[in-house]
Amino acid sequence: MTLTRITVEISPRRIGTVTLNRPERGNAFDQAMLDELGDGLKALVADDAVRVVVLRGAGKHFCTGADLSSRGPGAELRPAAKYALRDVLAILDGLSKPTVAVVEGGAIGGGAGFVTCCDVAIATGDAFFSVPEVRVGMAPMGIMPFMIRAIGHRAFRRYGLSGERIPAADALRLGLVHEICEPPALEATLAKIADALLLGAPHAMTELKAAAARYASPNLAEILAGVPPPHDPKSTEAQEGIAAFREKRKPSWYPE
């Protein structure tokens, strides 16, 4: 498969790095990126040469969420979906190998969802997170189970309802990330964590992740089976929200 939205590299130390590669769009994902990411993660799981999987973004941002330019009036015809966002999140969350998210800049909407599905998350001090879907007329159904498990029901209600930015320091306090470092120390911090993960026996870590998933509260397998479909981007609120986002104005439901 020819990759146009992500890159995949495997280091001599058996670390597979997946880089979201649309820096000109803030690594916002479209259907092509979701499909490449889903297939790429599955390929790394099947590759015995890979022991640790790292997810990061090219350029300024980790991932600024869904590419709204691919939705709404005047949007290009989107390709048939192989994976929905929730499918890719489930693949990443269920990966049998240890995963590390490396966050610089924004991790917004589904981008924040990717972070919650990794075993370890590190971020630079100027990174930020948000779940702003309600501001464009949609509920974040796909990422909700993963976010609630990561930061808790009450915290998700605040940030999901308000769409506020979550600075790196608050993300650390909430458990959304595990470690913060300054940009010059990012690669060294990643190397230290990857080295610690490489010390673990591969099959033991696979067993640990599978057991942890069973014991997790809430149990994601049960929740995902009952999650309603993603919010319809053609709904009245979504159409207005996306139009307002594109036109850089407040949506009609905002009282002046």
Taking CA atoms, 252 is separated from 8, 131, 159, in Å, by 42, 20, 21
pLDDT, position 241: 81
Alpha-carbon gap, residue 108 to 136, rounded angstroms: 13
pLDDT higher than 90, residue 127: yes
The CATH number that applies at residue 21 is: 3.90.226.10
Per-residue pLDDT band for 215 (boundaries 50, 70, 90) equals confident
Domain presence at residue 229:
no
pLDDT, position 219: 66
Domain presence at residue 247:
no
Domain presence at residue 41:
yes
> Average pLDDT, stretch 18-27?
98
Domain presence at residue 235:
no
**pLDDT, greater one: 50 or 225:** 50
Residue 63 is classified by DSSP as B
Q: Please state the pTM of the whole predicted model.
A: 0.88
Q: Could you tell me if 27 and 62 are in contact, meaning their C-beta atoms sit under 8 angstroms apart? A: yes
pLDDT, position 103: 98
Domain presence at residue 79:
yes
pLDDT, position 73: 46
Q: Which domain holds residue 174?
A: 6-184
Taking CA atoms, 201 is separated from 49, 52, 192, 197, 206, in Å, by 14, 12, 17, 9, 9
Domain presence at residue 189:
no
> Average pLDDT, stretch 156-170?
97
Instruction: Return the closest-CA partner of residue 253 out of 163, 128, 141.
Output: 163
pLDDT higher than 90, residue 1: no
Domain presence at residue 213:
no
How many domains does the chain fold into? Answer: 1
* H or E, element range at 191: helix 186-198
> Average pLDDT, stretch 61-89?
77
Per-residue pLDDT band for 78 (boundaries 50, 70, 90) equals low
Taking CA atoms, 64 is separated from 49, 153, 174, in Å, by 31, 23, 20
- Let me know how long the chain is: 256
Alpha-carbon gap, residue 239 to 37, rounded angstroms: 27
Residue 134 is classified by DSSP as G
Taking CA atoms, 242 is separated from 30, 81, 140, 187, 239, in Å, by 15, 20, 14, 36, 5
Per-residue pLDDT band for 31 (boundaries 50, 70, 90) equals very high
> Average pLDDT, stretch 159-183?
97
Domain presence at residue 252:
no
